[in-house]
Amino acid sequence: MDFFGRRCKADVQHYGRFTVLCWWCTALGSGILFTYPEIATIAGVQGLVVYSLASALPLLVFAYLGPIIRRKCPEGFVLTEWTRQRYGAVAALYLSALTLITIFLYMVAELSALQQIVNALTGLNGLPAVIVECAVTTMYTSVGGFRVSFITDNIQGAMVLALIIIACITVGVKTEIHHDMIDRSGYLDASLLGWQLIYILPVAILTNDFFISGFWMRTFAAKTDKDLWVGVGIATIAVAVILTLVGVTGLLAGWAGILGNPPEESSIAFFLLLEQLPAWVVGIVLVMTICLSTAAFDSFQSAMVSTGSNDIFRNKLNFWFIRAAVVVIIFPVVVVALKSPSVLQIYLISDLISASSIPCLLIGLSDRFYAWRGFEVVVGGLGGILTVFLFGLVFYHGDTQAAGNLILLEAGLYGNDWSAFGAFVAAPVGGLLWALGAFGFRIAVQWCIAKYKGTHFDAFDKPPAPTAAFYTGQTEPGVGVADAEREVYMDNDGVERSEVQVKGKFF
């Protein structure tokens, strides 16, 4: 392992300990100023409450699964490390590819949100601000790496709190609610979409969180399981409260008559409400949201560099080449961001990808399913996306273009039909069915090969249990794992570390 790989792990273990209580910073970006007020204008109080809870409660999964994965992969610092150990290189590369796609979409969403914020609050073209943010974050992440990202997370958290406090006070003082608009808006009524979101959002957000490297870095950085539970618990409460407060601005914009009579759906409800406030408040909010966007964007850049270097090239390629590749990728990110008006739609595309793959991946966490391999994970993930397309063909009566658009969720959550709901059912259920089919196919092929060659059929042979030292990372003579399973090295700080060399099976 080269210097960059060791430095990444050292930074995560050292700096991550100081930011483990700032889990909630990783879950927030400038995109929340669009998505949560927008869902409030679409599905009212019901949709907002579901969205906020669905965004916050899945964080508890890291406190539950984190200790399990840390014991199984003690030297890891992201999910792909455990995936390579459990399922082999092909499945790990597949997960890394999905992670890069997710990071790409999150970067698009962040820049799209930034340019819309600048345009909404100032009336100016947001492109210059986007270019400046990309240039600045690229420069300081190239020098500081993860260390800078951890520091900006703290700044990001302070900015969010300050933004919420200022917005709550000024909106409460200056906004005038028209009481007759409360009934006309229908925000207090239940809706078909509101009930659908009870299923859609938990599945979408829970599975997508697995692709966010920042969560896994904090999971592996926690000193103890108790520290992990404390950090995640604080984050869950903070995220639920903050997102609900942000989303309420959508309700207030409708009740204040800003969105029309009756109120219409709007992705910029937060900023339309801000236009009613004094200029100095708008200026402060603009500065804070730009800082918030910058802190989120640098984390995505660092995560993309880490994924490319550690997961794809196994730290054998000079990391400056990886950083150069990330800089090149930023250009299409900017182009796509400027053409993507709906931040919510971008998130939904990412959610659909994760919903098809993560359920198949997590089966391997159970020791009972030791025969489950990477082949099933890859086939299941791809099959889940194909199932969404097949569902679209049925739902749209054979219209292939509409079925293809369903994969991209071009209608978002606005359709007021069962298309989005069906897509988020088809992705995980279809993925699991394809994975089970792949499992049966693999077993049949291996049985035929063993029968033909006259060799032992070992597909259901239980692998030997790792020693206690494998889980603790200790390598004392006589008690540690075999030398072939660990590579012991000294990191840049002179601390002895080791890397798991156990390789899972793909087929």
Facing residues of 498 across strands? 488
State the pLDDT at residue 392.
93
The secondary structure element, H or E, covering residue 371 is none
Q: What is the predicted pLDDT for the residue at 36?
A: 92
Give the CA distances from residue 471 to residues 359, 368, 488, 500, in Å, rounded to whole numbers and listed in that order.
24, 18, 15, 10
pLDDT of amino acid 415 = 62
- Closest listed residue to residue 392, CA positions, set 434, 420, 416, 415: 420
Dig out the tokens for 302 from the structure.
């660092």
Residue 493 has pLDDT above 60, yes or no: no
Whole-angstrom CA distances from 282 to 30, 170, 277, 365, 468 are 15, 10, 7, 48, 58
Question: What is the CB-side half-sphere exposure of residue 262 using CA atoms within 13 A?
Answer: 9
Most confident of 151-160, 307-316, 358-367: 358-367
Kindly report which listed range (27-36, 171-180, 467-476) carries the lowest average pLDDT score.
467-476
What pLDDT sits at residue 144?
67
Q: 107-126 in b/e burial notation, b at 16+ Cβ within 10 A?
A: bbbbbbbbbbbbbbbeeeeb
The residue-averaged pLDDT of 216-230 equals: 83
Pair of tokens at residue 253: 């914009």
- Asked whether residue 489 carries a pLDDT value surpassing 60, the answer given is no
Kindly report the length of the chain: 507
Q: Which long-range contacts (CB under 8 A, 24 or more apart) does 483-489 make?
A: 487/1, 489/1, 489/6
- pLDDT tens string 119-139: 888 888 888 989 998 998 888
Check: CATH 1.20.1730.10 for 3-357?
Answer: yes
- Which tokens sit at 5? 């790989």
The radius of gyration of the chain from alpha carbons, rounded to an integer in Å, stands at 24
Q: With bands split at pLDDT 50, 70 and 90, how would you rate the model's confidence at 502?
A: low
How far is 244 from 444, CA to CA, in rounded Å? 51
**Amino acid identity, position 362:** L
| Amino acid found at 447 | W
The pLDDT of residue 94: 93
Helix then strand then coil, in percent of the chain rounded to 5, is 75, 0, 25
Scanning the structure block, which residue is given the tokens 């409450």? 49
| 150-182: burial string, b at 16+ Cβ within 10 Å, e else | bbbbeebbebbeebeebbeebbeeebeeeeebe
Which residues lie across from 489 on neighbouring strands? 497
Gap between the Cα atoms of 124 and 400, Å rounded: 40
* Ranges for all domains in the chain classified under CATH 1.20.1730.10: 3-357
CB contact at 8 A, 205 and 55: yes
* 438, amino acid identity: A
280, with CB counted inside 10 A (0-12, 13-18, 19+), is: exposed
Helices and strands counted in the chain (H then E): 20, 2
> What's the CA gap between 434 and 436, in Å, rounded?
5
Position 484 scores a pLDDT of 40
pLDDT of 501 reads 47
**Mean of the per-residue pLDDT values for the chain?**
81
Cα dihedral 354→355→358→362 (10° resolution) = 160
Question: What tokens does 352 get?
Answer: 């659909």
Q: Model confidence at 255, in pLDDT bands (50, 70, 90)?
A: very high
pLDDT in tens, 143-190: 766 667 667 767 767 777 777 788 788 888 888 888 889 888 999 998
Question: Is residue 379 scored above 70 in pLDDT?
Answer: yes
DSSP-assigned letter for residue 500: E
Q: Which alpha helices (DSSP H) does 186-314 contain, by range?
A: 192-209, 213-221, 225-255, 269-274, 279-306
Q: Average pLDDT of 481-488?
A: 44
Span 454-472, average pLDDT: 70
The lowest-confidence range among 221-225, 252-256, 373-377, 386-390 is 221-225
Rounded mean pLDDT, 453-476: 67
Question: What pLDDT is attached to residue 34?
Answer: 84
SS3 (DSSP) at 480: coil
Q: Which residues pair with 497 in a beta bridge?
A: 489
Angle at the Cα of 40 (from 38 to 41), degrees rounded to 5? 65
pLDDT for position 468? 45
pLDDT for the residue 26: 62
Residue 498 has pLDDT above 70, yes or no: no
CA torsion 71→432→503→493, rounded to 10°?
Answer: -50
Q: Beta 496-500 vs 486-490: how paired, if at all?
A: antiparallel
More confident residue, 284 or 359: 359
Report pLDDT for 5: 45
Supply φ then ψ for residue 490, to 5 degrees.
-105, 130
Angle 397-403-404 (CA atoms, 0-180°, nearest 5)? Answer: 155
Asked if 434 and 387 touch (Cβ cutoff 8 Å), the reply is yes
pLDDT of residue 188: 93
Tell me the two tokens of residue 412. Answer: 């978002």
Distance CA(491)–CA(184), nearest Å, equals: 64
| pLDDT average, residue stretch 359-386 | 93
Over range 7-23, report the average pLDDT: 50
The larger pLDDT score, comparing residue 213 to residue 403, is at 403
Of 37, 47, 29, 42, nearest to 103 by C-alpha is: 29
**Beta carbons within 10 angstroms of residue 386's beta carbon:** 17
Provide the β-strand partners of residue 499. 487
Query: How far, in Å, CA of 362 to CA of 79, rounded?
Result: 11
Average the pLDDT over 424-429 and give the result: 95
Tens-digit pLDDT profile for residues 34-91: 889 999 999 999 999 999 999 999 999 999 998 988 888 877 777 888 998 899 889 9
Task: Give percent above pLDDT 90 in the chain.
Answer: 27
